[in-house]
Structure 1
Amino acid sequence: MKLRRNRLTTAVQLSFLLALPMAAVAQDAPQAQEAVTLDRVQVTGTRIKKAEIEGQVPVQTVTREDIERTGLNSLGDIVQALTASGSALNTRFNSSGNFGFPPDGSGVGAGSAQVDLRHLGAKRVLVLVDGMRWVNESSASGVGAATDLNTIPLAIVDRIEVLEDGASALYGSDAIAGVVNIITRRDFDGASVSVQYGEYEAGDGETTKADLAWGWNGERSNLFLGASYTEQERVSSADREQSRFPVPGTGVTFGSSATPTGRFVFRHPGTGATYNITPNTGASNPRFDATQTGCTRTDDYHCFTDADRFNFSPFNLLVTPSERAGLFGQFRFDLSENSSWYVKALYNRRESVNQAAPEPIFLGPSGGTGNPLADNIFISRNNPFNPFGIDLDARLTTPPAQRNLFLIGRRPIEGGPRVFMQEVDTWYVGTGFEGIFDVGGSTWFWDVNLAHSDNSAEQTNYGSYNIRNIGIALGDPAVCAATPGCTPLNIFGGPGTITQAMLAWIQPVVRDRSANKLTQFTANLSGDLFSLPAGPLSFAAGVEHRRYEGWYQPDPLTVAGFYNGVPSKPTSGEYDVSELYTEFNVPLMADSAWGKKLDLSIAGRYSDYSTFGGEFTGKLGLRWQVADELLLRTTFAEGFRAPSIGELFGSDSRFDAVLADPCSEPLADPSLLSNCRALGVPAGFQQANPQISVTTGGNRNLQPETADSFTAGLVWSPGFLEDSAVAERVDVEVTFYRHTITGAIQAVDAQTQLNLCVRTMSPLYCDGITRASTGAINGFNNRLTNLGVIKTDGWDVDLFWTLPESRLGKLRVDWRNTFVTRYEAYGAGGQRQPQRPGVEVNNSAIPEWTSTFVVDWSRENWFGSWTVRHISELREACGRAINFPVCSNPALNRNVLPETTYHDLQLGYNFEWLRGLKVTAGVNNAFDKDPPICLSCSLNGYDASTYDIPGGRFWYLRADLRF
């Protein structure tokens, strides 16, 4: 453990001890006036229930009105629009079939929406619902370490409180980057119905939402029931000009080498020549002449070039369809004047779909699949469709000189696109007791809670292939004939030559399942211990126990290694944690020459994990109310994140990274030529496929990530502007933040590892990267470990201005800004990772400045808003697109994603009918701003987590009726 962490831990422990002599002094202090019972105020960022604690830490509150102003239908989309949010998964990521499995074992999260704060990753953000942890996602393809916000219906949300500060001492693991606390609707009298419809200007991406709410408040009890239904239709990549090609402006150059006609790279034993050929268009039964060894050919083949590559983009989705239905209810009953009992339950169902291009079949060692059945394929000369008249042999058991097959890439469009259908069920049941009691004139608050939640998912995959059956169908026809159901396969002809009988043998239906479960018990106590000269010493303490269970069960075909797609193994694990925390708010000064009030907050938490043992985290904070107009505050906190089930127990799996091999000719850096030769790369090698399969998996020896977080800021409410001619009230908030994470659980960025391997030849980077005799990478091992260091800091600058009411109505301005001044990530050996402010990399970005400017207007029954969302300029490497005009600065190998600003407009009217009818019309991206072209993004030329995808205006109509 680092010295600085020891210092903070010691400081927190000493602070607890220092509170004891202060207690002795307070014994002799004059008794305060008789206490007045306060409303129970629970503020995210502290466990002490006291109104005066508000403002101690930077908390952003998104109200119900703020939610309705966005016109959005997903809780995830709303939180991702905050200026402090980073790149996170959402329904604009067409994940399945394209990205494979991330190293943490969480799966692809298809159809989910997550939240990332400070660009530190979704798994470093803790999501609470009414102060209780929410279950992590499963999404059918893994055991997730982050929360899917699509499991929480938007209709039940009263407000969202976002703590933009480290808070492990208060809330435990995962609260490194911050906490999102979703407060549900509770005190609701009557009934309401809300319906909304919207679509893009192009006539697609239709969304339909209907919410029902009913509440009743009695003398001793209240009840709230809510139901929600949301349907989001798809937007196809083929329907937008920018997304019709893999890299906009380059045609099919960056397409796949697995084509509907097929690509064949092999050495002919008779001529000794190596061929890299593809059939001519329309040659369904191509003739091959082995004597024509060059590229000037008169048979039915020609040499493969970039112009032959397959454009997979039109098959993808820009917006994935999703259908969500949820039911929620909570009931509270006052057992006495001072105690109550509650119970709440939720069920949410999500059905979503991802779609990818028809699955490619790559055979031979240069295919890079990592699947032995594909890499070591044998195709018989007796196969009735083999036009080459020779055995095509890539088996390791064959002498190297006789291995003559290097690559076959065939895209069977006859089998249709890959379609991944998810069904995700989320259950939550919670109950508890809470109350107050008085001791010595002080009011104390207590609560005990028990909750269980379950997120389980099933994914059905249509359009993938069985590589074992492909091998049998291409091999000895006699073996195929003796195998029930086998039909010889024709991968040598053009489109349409793979028949339905062939597909029936090689194309299964693949089903994967996974689940995450969380059971938790908490008990909390809060109140004033005694009075000090500057005020009461407030205290909170509690105990928590949680049990996590998770498993992932891929289809038996996948487990057996027969799946042609992304391979993975089952995962299963569980652990529990017991915790004890305490928090003090110590008043140091009140109404003196130094200001109105100075408070010291101290918090500490001890966590005992069954997987790695104990961990203590502490937090110190100062809140200085200099004057009524000025508040200064600062915090310093330790944090940690325990490794998740997927990170600990995840079995071998694979993801397909889009990588540029530094040894592919022509070399971008000619000085690397000798290193490439030493690595076994022959002259003339050109990378056949930009997607390289990377194998990853969990590590049971992982230790927790640790973090130090620091914030300092002010809140200024200038009195000379209050109730003036230009303002009713003005507030300015400025916060500086800094996070340092050590021992971050991650794998080295795959492209960085490959670059460093070629440049340094060090085993530290080259171990696990293997190459075939052709020079192509055929093995890439990239495992999790505690190796990373992440450092980031920046500023939040916010302005809130309420103007006096006039004949034109009432105006309110909210202007929020986040500036990222530093982001550094380091991997093994201290190498710098590519992420940094102002840079786009790996389908995500860290803008140096993000801003949201909102003007709210109301006059009598009318209301409206104008929202401006701004993203500063980003830079990225052009990569292989350096030779195309779409690269804005080829000399520096740099492409610029220009600054982007969106405008959203909304107008509505309140009708005085029943208890209120509100009709609202709005348009997002009113000026039809397209997202900038992204050359380094994996799909469709967009960054789906930073910009509005797919572009174009989105209009909506909503009606809300109370009765």
Structure 2
Amino acid sequence: MRGFPLVAPLAIAFAVLLADSAAAQQPAMDRVEVTGSRIRKAMIEGQAPLHTLTRRDIERSGLSSVGDVLQQLTSSGSALNTRFNRSGNFGFPADSGGVGAGATTVDLRHLGCKRVLVLVDGVRWVAEASASGVSSCSDLNTLPLAIIERIDVLEDGASSIYGSDAVAGVINIITRRDIGGGRMALHAGSYEQGDGELAVAEASYGWMQGPLSVFGSVSHVDQNAVFSRDRELSAVPVPGTGVAFGSTATPDGRFLLRDPSTGALRDLTRGTGSAQVGPGLVPGIVPFSDALRYNFAVENLALTPSERDSVFLQGRLEIGERTSAYLRTLLNRRRSAQRAAPEPIFLGATAGTGNPLADQIVIPASHPFNPFGFDLDSRGDNPSLLLLARRPVEGGPREFRQEVDTAYLAFGLEGSFEGALSPWYWDVNLAGSRNRAEQLNTGSYNLRRINRALGPSADCAADPACVPLDLFGGEGSITPEMLAYIQPLVRDRSANDLQLFSANLSGDLLELWAGPLALATGVERRELDGYYEPDPITVAGDYNGVPSLPTRGDYAVNEAYVEANLPVFASAASQLDLSAALRYSDYTLADGRSTGRAGFRWQFGDNLLFRGTFAEGFRAPSIGELFGAASRFDAFLVDPCLAQPGGAPAMSDCAAFGVPAGAIQLDQQIGVLTGGNPGLDPEHSESSSLGLVYSPRFAQGRAWSQALDIELTGYRHRIDDAIQALDPQTQLDLCVEGGPGSPFCDSIMRAPAGTISFFGNRLQNFGRVETSGLDLHIDWLWPETRFGQGRLRWANSYVFHYREFDGNGLRQPRREGLVVNDSAIPEWTSVLQADWRRGDVELLWTARYIDAMEESCGRAIDTPACPDPLRGVNRLGSTTLHDLQLGWYAPWFDGARVAIGANNLFDRDPPACLSCSLNGYEASTYDLPGRFYYVRAEFSF
């Protein structure tokens, strides 16, 4: 990475200072760092909705990933985690960011992880790669819990303070420093079913001597897998439907042919008996039925394994009286895996792969394993081979294994100097970071070799390694020699690099009638580059799985900002401050952009605060969004032009599209071609918040209350020119509704059999996204009595509305109270925590509430699993999960604590989801089914 050579000389210089400095230790500089402002003054606190998770909060969650902790916030939306068993088996999103296999990300306000900025000690963190694309989201599994002192969550737009991406909010992870002594922690847990075992070991040590302080940490996390077959919800493709929505590609094969002697369609499979095809009976071939579909769910994972090792080191050195230097470095390695059912092979005119090696194949009558006695030809307007679907279980399941390395090195100088009114504080920072990933995919197939092994004998004989392939003989007919020819090892690579320089200055500029005018200003330069390199057989178009092409790009941005805080009125009873910020960003790939922010803070005494903000924001297109080449993902779509497998007729007459009467949709999984767009413009946003913080005096120092804080915040976000692709089901429905001349049909093509043969769905500046809501937080501390002391914290988030519109003003399906495309937006989420401690014993109870939602029954609409077929919706009832932890502080060993706990104490299953792609529930919103027990022990020395 280019950034590391720039950081290295300063790091070496810092190391020399560590060894040789003899300067006297100075007291800590009098400053307050506030996430959401560059002005370092205590009076700035409370200007924006900011919530802090302390180290104690994290340790008592029973979780092993900072991402999992953040996903339990009431303001958090759907985001990746290890419950998503997704890799190359589903394909690639339109933004070319990859599927993020094994990563854990964070979403705020349901606006997506790419609109949340992740900082570490106020400096941007690198985006993840995961060997499947070039993402613009940060993987929080790259940051071990052992290094974290606290997490600040700013739930407000802050582009004028931090630049691009801070549209929905900012996550600022503050690392530990200035700690003396050591600490060890061991954490182990398992689901009640005996799977998903978790083991965590952490060790850290801090040392302070004179002007020097050093903190180091090592950690190891090992999370084992849970198989989908071991949970009732995920044991079949759609809950409550058995194998009705299993795959049409079975171990015995499915063969949809047009009989050359009669022109009739024959739907066949391998079995005991014979069927009439062509001139006579074909032994061992029988009619296919939906009862024979393949249950792919049992091979999937409900929880993916993840192993993480991390080393962190931070040193700080006081240089003279007013200057200090720091060096911070982190190395993190993640090894993760996903598993899917054996990869299906789809060939024929209706295969819909978009690859001529599959869609235009010819298996001659002379092929040694062709049992039908005529050429199986998928070409032309009257093909004899419509579909050959075979699940080669002989080759084993697909397994995707990632090794992801994250390296971070930062150096900085901080200091102060006396100004006319008060000290001015300055800092200079230089950081380089890299996220590099490799993925090994086993269990996939080489489509070109499949084509050759099924073709004319002369073509196969021309390749000395070729072995004719038997896809017609039923389970067991594919020999090890056949597998050796068609089954490769697939290796993919990707990386994201970030190098950054920033300098900031903050202080009181001049004295005004109500107090000093505080100012902060600074500059920043960022250089980003990334790439995705799929395996050469994928690039060549030979991969039987989901195709993709390479992505590579880079850009840089220079920025400058200024922020001011103006006291307007001050008296003994109240104080009113106004704030403003302006940032200018100059990108190498786009015109310069300016964003502004304004706010007020009105304090009444020490118990009432009113505040409000209005912020402009923007998000520049990412490397993947700009430079991502064509790739594919497989969407579950209901084609209105085709009859459904359960017998439901076509919803529309599509003769104008050339769809034959009675055509059937054999497979609801349709390949959608996606990709980046170099013509994209940045997104623009407007964010506003208005709220109050009230600490009533009548609840302070009473027999029933020591302190009570009530925080109420209303918010609103609007994003224009939002970068995303049209919802594929919406695009298909609008195409059918508008007829062949509809602009929504421009990138949808059909085969002669009526099935979709090509579906294009590339990125665009989409239209707009709007959302608004309300947060209510209550913190009630009870007075200490002989029975102990308690605390009650209650966090609530209400979504008033969420809307998405495309460029034509048409509303998209995502909205509040709805689950769509594996993403949920509950109208109300709530977390209630009760904390009690007496002496050395403490008890923590947490209740997490998720409001009821609805989803479209989709492909399950004509089954008993859909409770409301008239409306075509399924209701996901409200869910409350309870967590309990009992902790004990050992009186004979200072700093030692042992805790036992259970998450999902009452073993509440998530509501069944009929439209979700995997495992029968919405994994970004609900916990994995099952009660999870754990024990944690930690001690200091």
| Structure 2 length-normalised TM | 0.95
Whole-angstrom CA distance in 2 between matches of 1:200 and 1:252: 27
Whole-angstrom CA distance in 1 between matches of 2:496 and 2:584: 25
Whole-angstrom CA distance in 1 between matches of 2:867 and 2:208: 62
- Secondary structure of the corresponding residue to residue 170 of structure 1: helix
> Segments of 4+ in structure 1 off by > 4 A?
666-672
Q: Which amino acid aligns with 1:338?
A: R
Corresponding residue for residue 109 of structure 1? 100
State the shift of 1:382 in Å. 1.2
State the shift of 1:321 in Å. 0.3
Corresponding residue for residue 17 of structure 1? none
Q: Is the 8 A contact 2:89 2:545 kept in 1?
A: no
Q: Which amino acid aligns with 1:835?
A: R
2:433 paired with 1:453: yes
Q: Which amino acid aligns with 1:496?
A: G
Within the candidate set 495, 503, 521, 2:483 is matched to: 503
Q: Is the 8 A contact 1:288 1:387 kept in 2?
A: no
Within the candidate set 638, 641, 649, 2:616 is matched to: 638
Corresponding residue for residue 837 of structure 1? 816
Within the candidate set 542, 545, 558, 2:522 is matched to: 542
Corresponding residue for residue 706 of structure 2? 728
Corresponding residue for residue 30 of structure 1? none
Corresponding residue for residue 743 of structure 2? 764
Within the candidate set 870, 881, 884, 2:860 is matched to: 881
Corresponding residue for residue 672 of structure 2? 694
2:323 paired with 1:342: no
The 3 A distance-change label for structure 1 pair 580 and 230 is same
Whole-angstrom CA distance in 2 between matches of 1:671 and 1:623: 59
- Secondary structure of the corresponding residue to residue 652 of structure 2: helix
State the shift of 1:39 in Å. 2.4
Q: Is the 8 A contact 2:728 2:761 kept in 1?
A: yes
State the shift of 1:298 in Å. 8.9
Whole-angstrom CA distance in 2 between matches of 1:726 and 1:687: 66
Q: Which amino acid aligns with 2:466?
A: C
For residues 719-758 of structure 1, what are the structure 2 equivalents within 5 Å?
719-758=697-736
- Secondary structure of the corresponding residue to residue 477 of structure 2: coil
Corresponding residue for residue 350 of structure 2? 366
Whole-angstrom CA distance in 1 between matches of 2:611 and 2:647: 51
Within the candidate set 216, 220, 230, 1:225 is matched to: 216
Corresponding residue for residue 514 of structure 1? 494
- Secondary structure of the corresponding residue to residue 891 of structure 1: coil
Within the candidate set 296, 300, 307, 2:284 is matched to: 300
- Secondary structure of the corresponding residue to residue 53 of structure 2: strand
The 3 A distance-change label for structure 1 pair 274 and 464 is same
- Once the two structures are superposed, residues 777-800 of structure 1 have per-residue CA deviations (whole angstroms, 9 ceiling, x without a partner) of 110000101123100000000100
The 3 A distance-change label for structure 1 pair 574 and 814 is same
Q: Which amino acid aligns with 2:375?
A: D
Q: Is the 8 A contact 2:642 2:649 kept in 1?
A: no
Corresponding residue for residue 131 of structure 1? 122
Q: Which amino acid aligns with 1:290?
A: V
Q: Is the 8 A contact 1:748 1:828 kept in 2?
A: no
Corresponding residue for residue 819 of structure 1? 798
State the shift of 1:664 in Å. 1.8
2:757 paired with 1:778: yes
- Secondary structure of the corresponding residue to residue 890 of structure 1: coil
Corresponding residue for residue 469 of structure 2? 489
Q: Is the 8 A contact 2:821 2:915 kept in 1?
A: yes
Q: Is the 8 A contact 1:248 1:941 kept in 2?
A: yes
Q: Is the 8 A contact 2:581 2:596 kept in 1?
A: yes
- Once the two structures are superposed, residues 803-845 of structure 1 have per-residue CA deviations (whole angstroms, 9 ceiling, x without a partner) of 0111111101110000001000011311111111110111110
Corresponding residue for residue 41 of structure 1? 32
Whole-angstrom CA distance in 2 between matches of 1:51 and 1:365: 69
2:371 paired with 1:387: yes
Q: Which moved more, 1:361-370 or 1:106-115?
A: 361-370
State the shift of 1:38 in Å. 7.3
The 3 A distance-change label for structure 1 pair 212 and 277 is same
- Secondary structure of the corresponding residue to residue 900 of structure 2: strand
Whole-angstrom CA distance in 1 between matches of 2:369 and 2:442: 26
2:898 paired with 1:919: yes
Corresponding residue for residue 9 of structure 1? none
The 3 A distance-change label for structure 1 pair 162 and 584 is same
- Secondary structure of the corresponding residue to residue 432 of structure 1: strand
Whole-angstrom CA distance in 2 between matches of 1:844 and 1:556: 33
- Secondary structure of the corresponding residue to residue 613 of structure 1: coil
State the shift of 1:626 in Å. 2.7
Q: Is the 8 A contact 1:672 1:759 kept in 2?
A: no
Within the candidate set 154, 157, 162, 1:166 is matched to: 157
Corresponding residue for residue 400 of structure 1? 381
Q: Which amino acid aligns with 2:112?
A: G
Corresponding residue for residue 314 of structure 2? 330
State the shift of 1:299 in Å. 4.9
Sequence identity of aligned pairs in percent? Answer: 56
Corresponding residue for residue 683 of structure 2? 705
Q: Which amino acid aligns with 2:168?
A: A
Task: Give the root-mean-square deviation of aligned CA atoms.
Answer: 1.6
- Once the two structures are superposed, residues 76-133 of structure 1 have per-residue CA deviations (whole angstroms, 9 ceiling, x without a partner) of 1001110000000000000013321000011111000000000000000000000000
State the shift of 1:742 in Å. 0.4
State the shift of 1:37 in Å. 10
Q: Which moved more, 1:297-306 or 1:825-834?
A: 297-306
2:593 paired with 1:612: no
Corresponding residue for residue 267 of structure 1? 258
Q: Is the 8 A contact 2:322 2:416 kept in 1?
A: yes
Q: Which moved more, 1:883-892 or 1:574-583?
A: 883-892
Whole-angstrom CA distance in 1 between matches of 2:855 and 2:420: 64
- Once the two structures are superposed, residues 348-373 of structure 1 have per-residue CA deviations (whole angstroms, 9 ceiling, x without a partner) of 00000000110000001211112221
Q: Which amino acid aligns with 1:194?
A: A
Corresponding residue for residue 375 of structure 1? 359
For residues 423-438 of structure 1, what are the structure 2 equivalents within 5 Å?
423-438=403-418
State the shift of 1:303 in Å. 2.8
Q: Which amino acid aligns with 1:331?
A: G
- Once the two structures are superposed, residues 852-874 of structure 1 have per-residue CA deviations (whole angstroms, 9 ceiling, x without a partner) of 00011111111120000000001
- Secondary structure of the corresponding residue to residue 758 of structure 1: helix
Q: Which amino acid aligns with 1:782?
A: N
Q: Is the 8 A contact 1:363 1:409 kept in 2?
A: yes
Corresponding residue for residue 247 of structure 2? 256
State the shift of 1:916 in Å. 2.2
Whole-angstrom CA distance in 2 between matches of 1:309 and 1:198: 37
Q: Which amino acid aligns with 2:510?
A: F
The 3 A distance-change label for structure 1 pair 224 and 688 is same
- Secondary structure of the corresponding residue to residue 638 of structure 1: strand
2:836 paired with 1:857: yes
Q: Is the 8 A contact 1:37 1:443 kept in 2?
A: no
- Once the two structures are superposed, residues 523-555 of structure 1 have per-residue CA deviations (whole angstroms, 9 ceiling, x without a partner) of 000000011111110000000000001011110
Q: Which amino acid aligns with 2:308?
A: R
The 3 A distance-change label for structure 1 pair 962 and 772 is same
Whole-angstrom CA distance in 1 between matches of 2:715 and 2:446: 51
Whole-angstrom CA distance in 1 between matches of 2:182 and 2:32: 26
Q: Which amino acid aligns with 2:364?
A: S
Whole-angstrom CA distance in 2 between matches of 1:795 and 1:350: 37
Q: Which moved more, 1:531-540 or 1:879-888?
A: 879-888
Q: Is the 8 A contact 2:49 2:156 kept in 1?
A: yes
Corresponding residue for residue 66 of structure 2? 75
Q: Which amino acid aligns with 1:101?
A: F
Whole-angstrom CA distance in 1 between matches of 2:670 and 2:651: 20
- Secondary structure of the corresponding residue to residue 512 of structure 1: strand
Whole-angstrom CA distance in 1 between matches of 2:635 and 2:905: 36
Q: Which amino acid aligns with 2:666?
A: A
The 3 A distance-change label for structure 1 pair 789 and 730 is same
Corresponding residue for residue 802 of structure 1? 781
Whole-angstrom CA distance in 2 between matches of 1:314 and 1:138: 28
Corresponding residue for residue 958 of structure 1? 936
State the shift of 1:217 in Å. 1.4
